[in-house]
Amino acid sequence: MKTLTRIAVLVLSLIIAVAPFYNPPVALAVGSNSVVCEDIPSSGERNVVVRMIADASAATYVSFVDTSYACVTANYSGTVSEFIQGWYLYGVQMIPQTPTPTTGIIITDKDQYGMDIMGGKMTSISTASVVDVTPMLDTVNSLYRYPKIRGPMSTAITGNSVNSAVISLVYRYITPVDWRH
């Protein structure tokens, strides 16, 4: 019995000595992004599909910066930023998934200068169904344009309150040769 008591005291002493230095692993519920790149040479198009998952406890999204993600197709390997450099953005398709984000979210797509290349057209987005958006140059006169991508872009989503909400954004680009389509 004395031996058992001594072992218990030794184990307890060890726990007390080590406890201040022990940091148990913590599971951080941070949102995530993933990317799929599609090169469609026959039509002169490229698509970048960004799947964004909100944080599991705070319902916030991690901003997507295209220089931070790899893009691999049969004909290309590099960053997303390099993949779309010099191409024209002609549309964005927002596809809500399950769990669905809060209706009224704000999606901001900024170019290398911090300008909203969608002209504010992705504010108060309904997440009840798929939404297609065309870039807008002039919101006062309703002028549309296909912005040429000249540098890194970033995407941020705000206004969501659904934990782990999933959304896919399909960015559609056309080649500089076919910019008038």
The mean pLDDT of the chain is 81
Containing domain of residue 40, as a range? 32-178
In a domain, 22, yes or no: no
In a domain, 48, yes or no: yes
In a domain, 119, yes or no: yes
How many Cβ atoms sit within 10 Å of the Cβ of residue 90?
Answer: 19
DSSP annotation of 75:
S
In this prediction, residue 26 carries a pLDDT of: 32
* Tens digits of residue pLDDT in 110-144: 988 888 888 888 888 889 899 999 887 655 555 66
For residues 7-15, give the mean pLDDT: 46
Our count of domains for the chain comes to 1
In this prediction, residue 143 carries a pLDDT of: 60
For residues 34-39, give the mean pLDDT: 93
In a domain, 45, yes or no: yes
For residues 78-87, give the mean pLDDT: 91
Write the CATH number for 66: 2.60.120
Residue 116 corresponds to which amino acid? D
pTM of the model: 0.77
Q: Give the C-alpha separation, 20 to 14, whole Å.
A: 11
In this prediction, residue 8 carries a pLDDT of: 47
Please tell me whether the peptide bond between 99 and the residue prior to it is cis, using omega within 30 degrees of 0.
yes
In this prediction, residue 134 carries a pLDDT of: 87
Residue 53 has pLDDT above 60, yes or no: yes
Residue 159 has pLDDT above 90, yes or no: yes
Residue 52 has pLDDT above 70, yes or no: yes
Q: Give the C-alpha separation, 159 to 102, whole Å.
A: 7
In this prediction, residue 135 carries a pLDDT of: 85
In a domain, 20, yes or no: no
Residue 38 has pLDDT above 60, yes or no: yes
In a domain, 75, yes or no: yes
